[in-house]
């Protein structure tokens, strides 16, 4: 269906009879919005006739073709929205169409637009043909245009401050309209303009509120870099106003926004900037006597500098985070920071400095595990004892210098003690299965046997095959370490293998059989687990040379490493020779 209205080439607008409005509705109802050809044809008809749907004085008569095209686009978009149809083929888009209309509205047209948004007013052409969100957005354009025009005129007038105040008020009306239109992205820069005018009229508190509103809007619309810049302006204002707490909180918002901007565009190298802002946050909180909050900021700074590939700055920030957490009696978090120091020194090829940092790691985690008055302990003691043990092992492993042996021995003993304390803590918490491995690492094999036995009894009720198998495997090792008879050890390994096989875990089942010296049973399990090299060794242990050769050759075919392939080829050739000799002996 099409509009049965003739339109001339004159710029004057011909008013339509009432039935023409019904024709528009009928056309929209019949239109297939998924058909590009139909939509284009409807738009061509509408763009010559749409201006006549509005009162004569709505538009200024300039560029009528552009106005008609914009109105047609908006009318079609509104019709599609009412019917939940696609707007894919409608052009121009709403942004361009609304921009065109804003510049062509007469004062009467502006009044009609604004009246269409007020409650209590009857229907007019704007409310009938344009969607509500489009009308709010168009009103936002209108108020922004008025404000910018008034501000420019005010520069030449007798009372520029009055003009600035009026312009600021209209910018705020534009912000309100854009917000109602769901256009926070358009509201943000206008809010900045209003804030700048408020600063010019010495309304600092009002400016602060507006800057924050703008920054929040930038953040919501996916522009964290701009949000960070605005938050920093507010930080400076709060600092000037003597409000350090608000300044610090706003600076933290700026830092988080800068980090989000870096995450969105990591190739632009924004992480260093985020690190700098986090350092500023840390200084604010440190000056305010809040070492806990300062520590958090230094830790974030360290992470940002690490992403920026600036390890020296990251090291300094990690150290400050560790010291601040220690001051705040948060030793667990101090240990985390020292661990960051240790890791960076290791990456930089500085093992001695890494070992020194690991000593601090161990000290901090032990303090966290032992607790005490006012100590913040976010994790259970057992976990901190484990972390302390790992740190002691790292120190022992990288011991250097004249006293290296003494240092290694001392920290091995400290690690064993920490493992034992971790196991005791797990037992105290009722986490018996978790205690088994720390007991083993502490060489407390008899206690490991007790823990494994209890844990097996508890896990049998849950019928967790994998856990039961692991615990029986652990029990076998614990019995071996405790010097128990070999038949007890082998029984534990055999039961473990059975549970592994029941759960189709062929590789650990094969390992369990190997632990009990049964390579003949282990070999086919290695094959089922697609571990031909291990199967080859198992068959070799039973003098089954042909099977061993076949598995070594299979492993050779799938091995990507050249050196390993060479070794596997030699093993296969040796198995072939052994097979020939074996046949001759037979």
pLDDT at 106 (0 to 100): 94
The three-state secondary structure class of 105 is strand
124 and 83 together in one domain = yes
In terms of pLDDT, which residue wins out, 466 or 315? 315
Instruction: Please indicate, yes or no, whether residues 492 and 539 belong to a single structural domain of this protein.
Output: no
Same domain (yes/no): 569, 510: no
Confidence of residue 464 (pLDDT cuts 50, 70, 90): confident
560, 561, 574, 506: which is closest to 534 by C-alpha? 506
Q: Which two tokens stand for residue 485?
A: 């008879």
Confidence label for 11 from pLDDT (cuts 50, 70 and 90): very low
> 148 to each of 71, 163, 193, how far by Cα in Å?
25, 10, 9
Residue 383 lies inside a defined structural domain of this protein: yes
**Rounded CA gap, 379 and 360, in Å?**
18
567 lies in some domain: yes
14-23, 283-292, 325-334, 453-462: least confident range? 14-23
Q: How many domains does the chain have?
A: 5
In a domain, 580, yes or no: yes
pLDDT score recorded for residue 164? 80
Report helix, strand or coil for 448.
Answer: helix
Residues 121 and 6 placed together within one structural domain of the fold? yes
Sorting pLDDT into bands at 50, 70 and 90, what band is 15? very low
What average pLDDT does the structure give for the chain?
A: 90
Q: Residue 584: CB partners within 8 Å, gap ≥ 6?
A: none
Distance CA 28, CA 50 (A): 13
Q: How confident is the model at residue 6 (pLDDT cuts 50, 70, 90)?
A: very low
pLDDT at residue number 440: 96
Give tens-digit pLDDT for 426-463. Answer: 999 999 999 999 999 999 999 999 999 999 999 998 88
Average pLDDT over residues 222-248: 97
> Reduced to 3 states, what is the DSSP secondary structure of residue 59?
strand
Query: Based on the domain organization, do 118 and 4 belong to the same domain?
Result: yes
The answer to whether position 53 is within a domain reads yes
- Contacts of 237 by beta carbon, 8 Å cutoff, 6+ apart: 204, 207, 208, 211
- Above 90 in pLDDT, residue 274? yes
What is the per-residue pLDDT across 314-367, written as a single tens digit (0 to 9) for each?
A: 999 999 999 999 999 999 999 999 999 999 999 999 998 999 999 999 999 999
Cα(300)–Cα(321) distance, rounded to whole angstroms?
9
% of the chain at pLDDT higher than 70: 93
The residue among 192, 198, 58, 60 whose CA lies nearest residue 129 is 58
Same domain, 5 and 118: yes
Q: How far apart are CA 218 and CA 224, in angstroms?
A: 6
pLDDT at residue 519 in the model = 96
Per-residue pLDDT reduced to its tens digit, 171-189: 999 999 999 999 999 999 9
Separation CA 236–CA 213 (nearest Å): 16
Query: Is the confidence at residue 376, as pLDDT, over 80?
Result: no
Contact predicate 57/109, CB 8 Å: yes
Residue whose entry in the numeric block shows the structure tokens 């008034």: 150
Residues 336 and 324 in one domain: no
Do residues 472 and 493 touch, judged by C-beta distance below 8 A? yes
Residue 14 confidence (pLDDT) above 50: no
Q: Is the pLDDT of residue 165 over 60?
A: yes
The answer on 312 and 348 residing in a single domain is: no
pLDDT score at 116 = 92
Asked if 486 and 530 sit in the same domain, the reply is no
Residue 74 belongs to a domain: yes
Q: Which residue among 371, 398, 429 closes a domain? A: 429
Instruction: Please tell me the distance from the alpha carbon of residue 148 to that of residue 196, in angstroms, as a whole number.
Output: 13
At 493-539, the pLDDT tens digits run 999 999 999 999 999 999 999 999 999 999 999 999 999 999 999 99
Say if 144 falls within a structural domain: no
Tens of pLDDT, residues 80-109:
998 889 889 988 889 999 999 999 999 999
Beta-bridge mates of residue 59: 105
Q: Tell me which residue of 207, 175, 177, 205 sits closest to 191, measured CA to CA.
A: 175
CA distances for 26 relative to 19, 31, 33, 42, angstroms: 11, 9, 14, 12
123 and 8 assigned to the same domain: yes
The domain boundary residue, chosen from 516, 545, 572: 516
Mean pLDDT of 302-307: 96
User: What token pair was written down for 268?
Assistant: 């632009």
Count of C-beta atoms within a 10 Å radius of residue 460: 12
Q: Do 426 and 432 meet the contact criterion of CB atoms below 8 Å apart? A: yes
Instruction: Respond yes or no on whether the N-terminal peptide bond of residue 92 is cis (omega within 30° of 0).
Output: yes
CA–CA separation, 319 and 337 (whole Å): 7
Query: Are 506 and 522 within one domain?
Result: no
- Which range of 147-156, 180-189, 276-285, 571-580 scores highest in mean pLDDT? It is 276-285
Q: Which of 542, 528, 540, 525 is nearest to 572 (CA)?
A: 540
State residue 380 phi and psi, 5-degree precision.
Answer: -65, 155
CATH number reported for the structural domain that contains residue 227 in this entry: 1.25.40.10
N- to C-terminal Cα separation, the chain: 99
Residue pair 181/137 in contact (Cβ under 8 Å)? The answer is yes
Please give the residue range of the domain that contains residue 319: 222-328
* 24 within 8 A of 129, measured Cβ to Cβ: yes
Structure tokens at 126: 């704007």
Is the pTM higher than 0.85? The answer reads: no
Both 397 and 463 in a single domain? no
Per-residue pLDDT at 153? 52
In a domain, 37, yes or no: yes
CB proximity list for 475: less than 8 A, separation 6 or greater? 449, 452, 453, 456, 492, 496
Name the band, by pLDDT with cuts 50, 70 and 90, for residue 19.
low
Mean pLDDT of 234-249: 96
The answer on pLDDT for 557 being more than 90 is yes
Residue 157, pLDDT score:
52
- Please report whether residue 473 resides in a domain: yes
Contact 478, 449 (CB under 8 A): yes
Instruction: Estimate the share of the chain in helix, then strand, then coil, as percent rounded to the nearest 5.
Output: 80, 0, 20
Percentage above 90 pLDDT, the chain: 76
Burial of residue 504 (number of CB atoms within 10 Å: 0-12, 13-18, 19+)? exposed
Last residue of a domain, one of 402, 429, 456: 429
- Note the pLDDT of residue 151: 58
């Amino acid at each position: 269906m099409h509009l049965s209205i003739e339109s001339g080439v004159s710029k004057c607008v011909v008013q339509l009879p009432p039935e023409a409005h019904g024709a528009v509705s009928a056309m929209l109802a019949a239109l297939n919005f998924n058909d590009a050809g139909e939509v284009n044809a409807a738009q061509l008809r509408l763009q010559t006739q749409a201006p006549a749907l509005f009162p004569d004085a709505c538009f200024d008569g300039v560029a009528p073709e552009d106005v008609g095209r914009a109105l047609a686009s908006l009318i079609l978009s509104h019709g599609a929205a009412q019917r939940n149809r696609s707007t894919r083929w409608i052009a121009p888009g709403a942004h361009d169409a609304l921009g065109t209309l804003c510049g062509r509205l007469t004062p009467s047209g502006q009044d009609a637009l604004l009246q269409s948004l007020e409650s209590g007013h009857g229907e007019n052409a704007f409310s009938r043909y344009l969607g509500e969100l489009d009308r709010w957005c168009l009103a936002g354009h209108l108020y922004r245009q008025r404000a910018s025009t008034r501000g420019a005129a005010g520069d030449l007038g007798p009372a520029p401050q009055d003009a600035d105040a009026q312009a600021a008020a209209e910018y705020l009306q534009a912000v309100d309209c854009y917000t109602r239109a769901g256009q926070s992205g358009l509201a943000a820069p206008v809010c900045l303009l209003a804030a700048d005018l408020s600063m010019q009229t010495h309304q600092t508190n009002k400016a602060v509120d507006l800057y924050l509103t703008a920054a929040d809007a930038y953040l919501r619309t996916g522009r964290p870099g701009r949000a960070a810049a605005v938050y920093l302006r507010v930080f400076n204002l709060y600092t000037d106003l003597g409000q350090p707490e608000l300044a610090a909180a706003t600076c933290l918002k700026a830092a988080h926004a800068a980090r989000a901007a870096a995450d969105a565009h990591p190739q632009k190298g924004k992480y260093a900037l985020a690190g700098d802002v986090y350092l500023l946050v840390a200084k604010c909180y440190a000056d305010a006597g809040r070492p806990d909050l300062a520590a958090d900021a230094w830790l974030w700074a360290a992470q940002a500098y690490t992403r920026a590939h600036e390890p020296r700055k990251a090291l300094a920030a990690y150290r400050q985070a560790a010291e601040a957490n220690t001051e705040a009696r948060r030793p667990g978090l101090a240990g985390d920071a020292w661990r960051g120091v240790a890791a960076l020194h290791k990456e930089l090829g500085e093992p001695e400095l890494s070992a020194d940092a690991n000593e601090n790691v161990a000290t901090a985690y032990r303090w966290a595990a032992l607790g005490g008055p006012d100590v913040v302990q976010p994790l259970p003691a057992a976990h901190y004892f484990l972390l302390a043990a790992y740190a002691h092992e790292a120190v022992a492993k990288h011991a250097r210098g004249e006293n290296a042996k003494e240092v290694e021995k001392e920290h091995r003993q400290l690690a064993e003690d920490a493992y034992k304390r971790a196991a005791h803590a797990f037992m105290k918490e009722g986490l018996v299965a978790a205690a088994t491995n720390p007991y083993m690492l502490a060489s407390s094999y008899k206690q490991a046997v007790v823990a494994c036995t209890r844990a097996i009894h508890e896990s049998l009720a849950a019928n967790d095959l994998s856990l039961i198998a692991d615990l029986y495997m652990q029990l076998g090792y614990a019995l071996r370490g405790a010097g128990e008879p070999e038949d007890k050890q082998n029984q534990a390994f055999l039961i473990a293998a059975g549970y592994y096989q029941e759960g189709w875990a062929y590789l650990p089942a094969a390992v369990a059989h190997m632990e009990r010296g049964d390579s003949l049973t282990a070999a086919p399990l290695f094959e089922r687990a697609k571990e031909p090299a291990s199967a080859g060794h198992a068959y070799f242990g039973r003098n089954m040379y042909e099977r061993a050769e076949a598995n070594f050759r299979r492993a050779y075919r799938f091995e990507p490493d050249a050196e390993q392939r060479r070794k596997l080829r030699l093993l296969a050739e040796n198995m072939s020779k052994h097979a020939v000799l074996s046949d001759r002996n037979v």
